[in-house]
Structure formats: structure tokens, C-alpha cells
Structure 1
Amino acid sequence: MTTLVTGGTGFVGSAVVRALIARGERPRCLVRPGSDRRNLEGLGIELAEGDLTHGESLAEALKGCTALFHVAADYRIWVRDPESMHRANVEGTRQLMQQALKEGVARIVYTSSVAVLGKAPGGAPAHEETPVTLEDMIGVYKRSKFLAEREVQRLEREEGLPVVTVNPSTPIGPRDVKPTPTGRMVVEAAAGRMPAFVDTGLNVVHVDDVAQGHMQAYDRGAVGQRYVLGGENLDLAEILAVVAARRGRKAPKIRLPRRPLMPLAHVAETWARLTKGPEPLLTVDGLKMAARPMYFSHDKAAKALDYRPRPAAEAIHDAVDWFESEGYLR
């Protein structure tokens, strides 16, 4: 079986590649020219250069493939050019899925996100069927993933796309080379550079458990269905306490109110835009998201896929240890 993985150089994608290799497969990875390929070094896999927005490269990458894991996405809370994120996450997903149909790919696992799910009443964990609309999406990333998943669902209904969707929560663990927004938070906290925080809640899951969930979705998932791949629901204070304890530090205790920080977030975004600097740590959308703890239930995946994630503390420990070993905490 020939399997194409998109996003294999990234955090979740590289874990999926390793999970496939553990099953005895040698997947093909779609990689952008000039991309950071550290996560694929030494794996001995086939690389196909291309881009989600270039249809010809997708056709070449998919030739002879019977399976597709579409993991790639532009994941940033703040982006200088929102249209570039829409092109990658929405239009790129549409092009890839349409090309997979043309090539006769027999089975597809699409990596969506819990970001597209609704908010359950009373603070209860949300799930796959929690009602939600596009208007509920905060920020360009969430909107792009919501629209991309809707496009995947449309192609499944109207054109018979053989796709199973997975919705990972907040993956944490090794090989977060970029790092992701969550990884940046872990780095800052582990390095002792986060004396205060804006409290919220997250569902934390080990990235390797998310990858295993992809394998289980491929083996057991029902076409047209989606499955939350989550872990433990923790408030941010709990997460930071585990990070600090791993490094022998005291956890930050100062909880900052969101509203007074909004002007600072606007200034940080303006400065990043003018200087063409990196994504600011403090963003308007990030503060808005913090008002809604992101708690989720993976009961459906547990029952249908036999999905069993490890404790969240193990994910956090593995992330801190990897960031330390790779020099991120200096």
C-alpha cells in the first residue's frame, strides 16, 4: 500500500509518519520546497515536493496512492495575511481531496481540529455533535478549519469521498520544532519567562496518542464520521504547574484579567505587522479564545476506535524534556 502524508514535516504530521512506519509502512510525504525537514531525518521515506495550493504537484504526489492522511495546515493564532491561511487550509484541502478522488484513493483520514466544534452549555465538555456555526469561530484559523471541514463533508456527501475525519484537541509532546502556539507557551513557562498568565482551559493530549488515533480512525472509523482525539481537560494553572514541577521551578500564580490586556494585544499585533516580526505572544484572538475553556470529550473515539490516550502529565513531561534537550529553554 502506498500512503501519502501531508504535513509530515510538522508536529502532528511527523508523529503520524512514525506511527505508519511502526506498522511496517514507508509513507510518501508531501513537502514544500525549502521546508524544515528535521522531523523526517533518518526515516528513509519518499519525499514528494509540492504545495497544497499547486494542483499539479498534488497530482504527482498522489500517483499510485491507495491511502491519504491529510494532516497539513497553517496553524497560527495570528497571521499577517489571513488570505494565505484561507488558501492553504480551505482551498488547498479542496484541491487535495478532489485530486484524491481523481486518483482513486481508497481511504482518507482528514485531520481537522476541535477548534471547529461548538461550545457545550454549562461548561460541559463539547463533542462531535455539539451545535456550532461559522459565526461561533473566533479568528482566521478557526474559520479556515471550519470551512475546510465543511468542504470535506460536502465532497463526501456529493461525490463519495472515502474520508474519515479526526479532530485532535491540544497536542503536546516531542518534535514541536516550530513550535506551535501551545508549544511556545510550554517553552516560555519551562524557561521561567511566564510570571503571570490569563487563565483558560485546554484538553491536553500526547501527540503520539493523536497519531495512534489516526491509525485507529483509518482501521475502524466510519466514512463520513468524525472523532475527537483528546486527552484530559485541565485549566491552564494546572498545566503550568506540571511544566514548572518538571523543571523544578515554582509555578506562576498571578492570573491576569483579559480585558485590560486587549489594548496591549492590539499594540503587539500592530508592532509585529509593521516590523514583519514573528507572531506575538499576546493576540486579540488569543485573549478572546481564553474566555472559553476548550474542554472536550473523546468518548465516541474510545467506543468506536478503542482510542485510549495516556495521562496529560506524560505529554507535558515529554514536551518539556524534548524542548530542553533541543536547546529551546536556554
Structure 2
Amino acid sequence: RDAQRIGNQGVLSKAFQNSIDWMPCDLMQWGDADRLVEGADVVFHCAALISYDPKDQAQLMHQNAQSTARLVDACLAAGVRRLVHVSSIAALGPPRDNEPVHEDTPWNEKEASSYYGQSKFAAELEVWRGQEEGLEVIVVNPSVILGTGAFETGSNQMFRKVQRGLMFYSSGSLGVVDVRDVAKACLMLHQGNCIGQRFLLNGANLTFKVLFDEMASCLACRPPAYCPPFWLARFTALLLQGWSNLRGTRNFISAETVKAAYTRKHYDGSRILRTLPSFQYRPWTQTVADGVAHLLYSPEPRPTYRPKP
């Protein structure tokens, strides 16, 4: 991984500092990828770029799909036995006939929700290609991952935004899963030799309103109170996107993120429960409570938030 980001792991770095060998690596460099997997029996591939900014389309395909192809090739060349790949629900197709999205929901290129989803789907194809060439493969497709860790990037930003006084919410829904459950699932699926299979990981289906209200309750701050109509949110996103294009800056909201935020989807993460009866998802309220506890005691500066009246 990037050595400059090791400090972002906080608790992980401190708890296992004597058990982890940190190796800076550029997966797009043949030598780096080969050196990384040399002598390994099993590789867990968890790295990916997450972005819904249209400016990042090429970078998403480069860092997610092409780097995965390079890693698969390195694993095959080095004689690695097994690859456990962390994909995403974004690599799954849209729901059919109001059914929950599951592992076998077919991909539909015309209805692909985002460039990020396209890049993760392309990355998965490389993993399955590795299986055809002799690599043992396990794939997990987690929903929105929440938990302790960095709160300025990724889906954990929601904690920080609510803490800072987020005023708006959307009418859509999302699936959430605890980061500890994702790690546990990867390990248990590997130990259970569940090769050649795909597992959607989802602990709960929630509306954004319910999730934000729970975060605000744990933070003892005011929850978001306003839900703008979809047309207004999309119009605002298009204006901001145009403004960011003129200024050459990054935009924090896009038409893709608005569409996702106003879409209601349900995800079925029960296959792993049937396959591994000893595996259980943590309650999502525990995930939120633990995340807030870590946020409040985080060494990062904590902005003020709007107190309850």
C-alpha cells in the first residue's frame, strides 16, 4: 500500500504494528506487483479508488480494473494459490421486478449506475479470468461499508457530515455493512474454502433518513431535517458540476450521486448466512454507535456541530 497513508489506519497500525510488513506498491508496475505477491499462498485484494466524479472515469478504470488485471497476472506468475477479492454492490446489476439485489442479479451495461460500478465490474471480470487460468477465487460484494477508521474519506464521511450539521437528506435507501463483518467474512470464506463463489455482504437496508437520525442521536446533535425534491437536487448538482468544470476544481456532488441518493434498493446478503451458519452480521445500530465513539475520541480535529435546541 501507499506508505504515506499507513498513518490513516490508526488503531490497525498500533494494534498490529509488530505483525504487519508495510510494503509501498504501485500495482500498475510489473515489478512492484510481482514483488508484492512473491511467496504468498493467499492474496486479499481490498484496494480500490472510490469516486462518483465524472472527471475520474479514466482513473477509475485505470486504478480499479487495470490494476486488478495486473495483480491477477502477478498471482498467476508467482504461483499464488488463492485470491480473495473485495468487489462492491456497484458491480451488480439493477433490481428486477422489485426483487432485492443479490449475487446473481445480472449486470446491465445500459443501466450501469456509475463509472465506479463499471470499473468494479471490469475488475471482477479480471478476477474471474484468473479463475479460468487456474487461480482459486473468492469474491465479496459489500454494500456501503461503515465503521471505525478515517472519517474524512469514503462512506465514513457521513459520520463527519452529520456531526458538522448536515441539514439535508434524500428520500432514497442504502445497504450498510460493518467493516469488521467484511473482514470477518473474507477470512471465514477463505477458511471455509468457498472458492468459485460470490457473496453479497449487507447487514441492513435503511433509508438515509433513518441512518442519519441514528448517527445524530449517538452524536447528540440535530439530525438533517430537510428533504429537497429530486429535481432540485439534480439541478443543483448540474450547476455545481458546471461551476467546478469552469474553475477546474473537484465537485462534491454529481448527477450520479444524486441519482443514487434518491433510489430505493434492497440488498439480500443472506447467501453467506446459509453457507456459513456461524457467521452473523452485527446490528447496524452497533456499527453506528461504535463509529461515533471512535469519531468522538479520534485524534483528528473535530468541528463543532449544531446542538439540539
TM-score normalised per structure 1: 0.84
CA contact (8 A) 2:83 2:136 kept: yes
Match of 1:288 among 240, 255, 259: 259
- In 2: Cα distance, 1:294 partner to 1:77 partner: 18
Structure 1 residue matching 2:139: 3-state secondary structure: strand
Question: In 2 relative to 1, CA 186–293 (structure 1 residues): closer, same or farther, beyond 3 Å?
Answer: farther
CA contact (8 A) 1:107 1:162 kept: yes
- In 2: Cα distance, 1:82 partner to 1:313 partner: 34
Code of the residue aligned with 2:143 in structure 1: it is: S
- In 1: Cα distance, 2:2 partner to 2:242 partner: 29
CA contact (8 A) 1:202 1:293 kept: yes
In the alignment, is residue 227 of structure 1 matched against residue 199 of structure 2?
Answer: yes
- In 2: Cα distance, 1:49 partner to 1:268 partner: 36
In the alignment, is residue 80 of structure 1 matched against residue 55 of structure 2?
Answer: yes
Structure 1 residue matching 2:4: 3-state secondary structure: coil
Structure 1 residue matching 2:84: 3-state secondary structure: strand
**Per-residue deviation, 1:274:** 4.5
Code of the residue aligned with 2:59 in structure 1: it is: S
Code of the residue aligned with 2:78 in structure 1: it is: E
- In 2: Cα distance, 1:76 partner to 1:50 partner: 21
Structure 1 residue matching 2:174: 3-state secondary structure: strand
- In 2: Cα distance, 1:302 partner to 1:214 partner: 13
Partner in structure 2 of residue 68 of structure 1: 43
- In 2: Cα distance, 1:278 partner to 1:68 partner: 34
- In 2: Cα distance, 1:233 partner to 1:66 partner: 36
- In 1: Cα distance, 2:198 partner to 2:117 partner: 17
Partner in structure 1 of residue 135 of structure 2: 161
**Per-residue deviation, 1:328:** 4.0
- In 2: Cα distance, 1:138 partner to 1:122 partner: 17
- In 2: Cα distance, 1:58 partner to 1:202 partner: 34
Alignment of 1:159-308 (within 5 A): 159-180=133-154, 182-192=155-165, 194-280=166-252, 282-306=253-277, 307-308=279-280
Alignment of 1:36-115 (within 5 A): 36-39=6-9, 40-42=12-14, 43-44=17-18, 45-78=20-53, 80-115=55-90
Question: In 2 relative to 1, CA 226–80 (structure 1 residues): closer, same or farther, beyond 3 Å?
Answer: same
- In 2: Cα distance, 1:79 partner to 1:287 partner: 13
**Per-residue deviation, 1:262:** 1.8
Runs (5+) with no aligned partner, structure 1: 1-30
Code of the residue aligned with 2:276 in structure 1: it is: L
CA contact (8 A) 2:43 2:82 kept: yes
Code of the residue aligned with 2:144 in structure 1: it is: T
- In 2: Cα distance, 1:316 partner to 1:275 partner: 37
CA RMSD of aligned residues (A): 1.9
Partner in structure 2 of residue 152 of structure 1: 127
CA contact (8 A) 2:76 2:130 kept: no
Identical positions, percent: 25
**Per-residue deviation, 1:312:** 0.6
- In 1: Cα distance, 2:193 partner to 2:145 partner: 20
CA contact (8 A) 1:101 1:161 kept: yes
Alignment of 1:301-316 (within 5 A): 301-306=272-277, 307-316=279-288
- In 1: Cα distance, 2:255 partner to 2:83 partner: 35
* CA deviation string 1:117-161 (max 9, x = no partner): 12333433211012222222122111100111122112212x022
Question: In 2 relative to 1, CA 81–248 (structure 1 residues): closer, same or farther, beyond 3 Å?
Answer: closer
CA contact (8 A) 2:147 2:288 kept: yes
**Per-residue deviation, 1:111:** 0.4
- In 2: Cα distance, 1:146 partner to 1:69 partner: 17
Comparing 236-245 and 314-323, the one that deviates more: 314-323
CA contact (8 A) 2:3 2:23 kept: no
Partner in structure 1 of residue 98 of structure 2: 123
**Per-residue deviation, 1:257:** 1.1
Runs (5+) with no aligned partner, structure 2: 305-309
- In 2: Cα distance, 1:32 partner to 1:292 partner: 34
* CA deviation string 1:229-258 (max 9, x = no partner): 110111111101101111223322321111
Code of the residue aligned with 1:37 in structure 2: it is: G
Partner in structure 1 of residue 307 of structure 2: none
- In 1: Cα distance, 2:251 partner to 2:27 partner: 22
TM-score normalised per structure 2: 0.89
**Per-residue deviation, 1:190:** 2.4
